Amino acid sequence: MKKTPLVQLFFLLLLNAFVFQSCKKEIQSKEADYINNRVAASRDILLSSGSCYETLQPDWFDDSAQTPTILGAHLLNNPYSVAVMQQASQNLYGNSNGISINKKYVRFKPADEIQLTQLVNLDIELYDYPLDYEVIQEGDFYDQGLPENEIPWFYTVVDPSFTPPPGIQYELLADLYVPDDDIFLENEAFLITGNPVASLDCDTSSAAKIITPDVPDCGEDSHWDYGLRECVPNDCPSGYVWDGSQCVDYIPPPPPPPPASKQPSGQILVFDNIRGGTGTNVPVRQAGIVLKRFLKIDRVYTNDNGNFSSNKHFHNKVNIIVKFKNDNIKIRGLRGVRFYQMFFPIKHGIGKFSGNLNNLEYIFVEDPDHKNRTYRNWWAAQLLNAYLEYNTMATALGTGTLPNNLTVLLTNWGGAGGAGSTPMNNHRSNNATAPRQWTEYFLVSPLSSQAANLINYLVQGYFLSQMDMTLGYNVTNSRTSDQLKALMYHEMSHAAHSQKVGQVWWGNLVFSETLTVVKWGETNDPYGDGTDGIASEYISVAESWAEHLARIMCDLQYGVDSRPVTKQGFTYFNGGAPDPTLSSHLNALEAFDRNRPVADDPFRWIPEGIYYDLFDVRADNFPIVDGVNGYTNLQMFNALDADVTSMTQYRSRLLQENGNNQSAQVIALFNQYHYL
């Protein structure tokens, strides 16, 4: 678990106190934000010609604020009902062939967090507000008139074959027919139920206009045929139409193809603030994209270029939401009230779009205010990419890939600055109870009644049993993207390591680090001074490997673009000591000194540089006399076996598995790290 120095801890704690004093703040309107907060310049939305945009979810609010969902007009007479859609099809095409139930509108009321987890794991789109209303603002909660921490009703649309989980309160609200592509049919259903069809505030593109033709007066003896688009006699039997001279069999033509401009597509990007030297936008890969208009919902994912394309066509306003989740990783956030919200992934509604829905673009960028959602979302977008980057590099290095369904908690409220932990609770058989000291260090600083309530909730254990990893973004200075990735890769190295050594080994490590956090308090947190016996032995193995691999991967990702690395007061520069040819990340490993004074580096006993010394070809004389070279990351990872619980055992296993390669030099190297 990664430790960032506690610089200006007193000021951090004061800031955290402010956060929790404002946890119950509920912003009631967009105007309040403009008055009390600056509008973040970080929100960057590019529109195609003929596109219109409205704000859907504020991203510049403080991340502890609770924003309400604000609903607008209610749909009249349910245009998505099967009966209405059948009538609309009769009007347009002269028949209702194929119009039958294809969706169900339902809601659930979980009784507790266990039932809520069951529901979330179904991987359906859940909303705490009814879906047959226009959404003015997508917020954190919809006021159902319930106590703050009572789990509310959740609404969704499911397939007809859906079977609700047993034991969870469930209601069927309506049987539906929701057309995927026939927006002409959808328009007709809206018209005949008295709902508005045309956008009143965005009608800029002819390609975006959906026009229902005027029906001429055909007289008493004829009627308008929507399929033929002409008047036909009234005296033809059912199933026949008048062709101008006689009644003939008629097969209605298929619906006209919807305009391509009504199939939403675009690209989601995140600003990497150092790549290329000055920073550049990079694709956000495998982000969940939800597209919604009332009861019509589509869900897709961005590809490796950050591009998405909906499988459905939408007329008028479509709400587009980015969710920081996929089958590999789910990213959650803390909440000071309405604790049930923490079971859902972080999301951001990027807007309501009308007109031309093609080639939309949204960019997540850094914000100087590290306590608002813009900054949190910037971390989350880079975390999605870090998962894929890690697996690509780990495959090439042979160092073990990450498990699927990795659940990560982002927090801005802990007492440890930008620290991380990887207990892997979601992948272990355990009750995941955590002492208050661990929770306060990594998750929540205990400086207000709101913090106390959240801490009490967390230490009860069920929510934490769902967490594999935590990452703290409550930093006092701007972070570069490679600094973020160093923390992320470090914790991901732990996750991959846990898959190799198994649950017992990892449980012992979690116990060891919990023990040191509780024992040492604010002195030498979270690892202690290396004198805690077997606990220190576990820590030395796990933390040294994770830091080594994180720096190796940052070098692979950023190379010369890397920024200076500061560790325990020591700063390493690109093109600096000890090797001007190395990136700052590799220099941080190469210059590691086991013999630094304790006052300079309380964690010098964790041998972060030993693996790079085994690998590199430099014949160093200071600070370590290094006569070893050529060991690979694959060989070093392979020696991290489940029965290796100390660095001396690791040395023996490494030599044993590699034919005692350079045995004398390896032993001498480990001796210099004080492993005799």
Q: State yes or no: pLDDT of 227 exceeds 90.
A: no
Concatenating the DSSP letter of every residue in 180-227 gives SS-HHHHHHHHHHTT---S-SS----GGG---PPPPP---TTEEEETT
Confidence of residue 53 (pLDDT cuts 50, 70, 90): confident
Using the 8-state DSSP alphabet, how is residue 405 labeled? S
The SS3 of residue 22 is: coil
Confidence of residue 588 (pLDDT cuts 50, 70, 90): very high
- Cβ–Cβ < 8 Å for 532, 512: yes
- In the block, which residue shows the tokens 């006092």? 476
- Cβ–Cβ < 8 Å for 144, 69: no
- What is the token pair recorded at 593? 């000194």
- Cβ–Cβ < 8 Å for 113, 463: yes
CA dihedral sign of residues 536, 541, 542, 544: positive
Closest CA to 642 of 497, 536, 517: 497
Q: State yes or no: pLDDT of 30 exceeds 90.
A: no
Give me the pLDDT at residue 448, please. 62
Confidence of residue 627 (pLDDT cuts 50, 70, 90): confident
Q: How far is CA 169 from CA 151, 153, 164, 255, 559, in A?
A: 12, 9, 9, 40, 54
- What is the token pair recorded at 432? 């995941």
Q: How far is CA 641 from CA 541, 605, 616, 649, 652, in A?
A: 11, 21, 23, 10, 11
CA distance 610 to 651: 11
Strands 469-472 and 406-411: parallel
How many residues in total does the chain contain? 676
**pTM, 2 dp:** 0.86
Closest CA to 315 of 405, 188, 415, 424: 188
CA distance 561 to 276: 6
CA distance 280 to 570: 28
- 575 against 183, higher pLDDT: 183
CA distance 75 to 84: 13
Q: State yes or no: pLDDT of 652 exceeds 70.
A: yes
For residue 170, the surrounding DSSP H or E stretch is strand 169-176
Crossing angle between the packed helical segments 534-558 and 481-520, to the nearest 10 degrees: 170
CA distance 443 to 196: 47
Give me the pLDDT at residue 249, please. 66
CA distance 334 to 321: 20
Q: What percent of the chain stands above pLDDT 70?
A: 84
Q: What is the mean pLDDT of the chain?
A: 85
The distance between the two most distant Cα atoms of the chain, rounded to a whole number of Å, is 106
Average pLDDT over residues 505-517: 93
Q: State yes or no: pLDDT of 370 exceeds 70.
A: yes
Confidence of residue 29 (pLDDT cuts 50, 70, 90): very low
- 74 against 355, higher pLDDT: 74
Top mean-pLDDT range of 294-308, 422-436, 437-451, 562-576: 294-308
Confidence of residue 7 (pLDDT cuts 50, 70, 90): very low
CA distance 539 to 12: 27
Confidence of residue 42 (pLDDT cuts 50, 70, 90): very low
Q: State yes or no: pLDDT of 177 exceeds 60.
A: yes
Q: State yes or no: pLDDT of 23 exceeds 50.
A: no
The SS3 of residue 497 is: helix
The CB density around residue 121, as the number of other CB atoms within 10 Å, is 12
CA distance 22 to 592: 42
CA distance 187 to 613: 68
Confidence of residue 441 (pLDDT cuts 50, 70, 90): confident
Q: What percent of the chain stands above pLDDT 90?
A: 60
- 47 against 286, higher pLDDT: 286
Average pLDDT over residues 247-267: 76
Q: State yes or no: pLDDT of 450 exceeds 70.
A: no
Question: In degrees rounded to 5, what are phi and psi of residue 233?
Answer: -65, 155
CA distance 437 to 522: 10
Over its C-alpha atoms, the chain yields an Rg (Å, rounded) of 30
Provide the residue type at 36 as one letter.
Answer: N
Closest CA to 306 of 290, 282, 274: 282
DSSP bridge pairs for 51 = 355
